[in-house]
Amino acid sequence: MIRSGNRFEGRVGVVTGGASGIGEAVVRALHAEGASVVVADVQEAGHALAAELGDRIRFLRTDVTAESDIESAVDLAVEAFGRLDVMFNNAGVMGTLGPIDRTPMSEADLTLAVNLRGVLCGFKHAARVMKPQGSGVIISTASPAAVLGGVGPHVYSAAKAAVVGLSNSVAAELRPFGVRVNTVIPGAVVSPMTAAVVADGADDLAGATATLGDSALMGRAITPEDVAAGVLFLASDEAAFVTGVTFPIDAGMTGIAGRSPYTSGRYEQPVTLLEAGRTTAVTGRS
């Protein structure tokens, strides 16, 4: 649910991949909180989003594999609204799928161009505005595949791992300039891209919700709005001393291997395990 407020009144954001999914949710949330936002996306759906939200929104068709497009998106924010406070490097694709020994290198290059080079360009052009400004927040979208094997395609996983490393490196540079840099790791989020993988196509959000809900770690599927709430926290003054952080929004997927085996079944009643496997029962309360 998007809450209206004024946490971002007078502030300006650029959201790459802002026409759908997580990006759209962040655009809507920033706008509802008073920000002016440039929606930077290759999808023409960005026009409709800008028309719907109206005031304080601009759409610019942006291919993040082209540095000049990202440069133009940042320039538009400054020209239209006077500054840049939040850069959300969110545009991404699953990219090339399949066995490593059959990976087409041309498709691998494209996957890296979107998921890594595009983020690098986002950092570059946000920093050129934020450093002299003396303030700003840059947030990038990674993935559980950045830190866990077997949950994402090979090249996608490599790119998202690189995003985490790049973000932490840039955070060290920009901290003295008053610019904070963080990364979010969304779990399996209901979005058109996810629906294309787990349901009957990009438009089958209901199918994606049902499929992801069946395996949800906390009772329901993660929504773009759940991720947007985390992004807005990191972008807000409430996170004024949060930088160089990788922030999972994944129901514990990357931090909790599974349900604890030591709290149920044979261990439902407390027991202490000592040397050579000797156990002692725990009685009473302490």
Active site residues: 156
CA distance 33 to 266: 50
Residues contacting residue 269 through CB under 8 Å, at least 6 positions apart:
281, 282
Strand 86-89's sheet: what is its strand order?
57-61, 36-41, 12-16, 86-89, 136-141, 179-186, 245-249
247: left (phi over 0), alpha (psi -120 to 50) or beta: beta
CA distance 240 to 164: 20
CA distance 254 to 147: 7
CA distance 147 to 110: 22
E-only strand ranges, 42-159:
57-61, 86-89, 136-141
Q: What DSSP assignment string belongs to 142-159?
A: --GGGTSTTSS-HHHHHH
Give the dihedral sign, CA 99/101/105/106: negative
Residues 181, 4, 144, CA angle at the centre, nearest 5°? 40
Q: Are 105 and 159 in contact (CB under 8 A)?
A: no
DSSP label at residue 13:
E
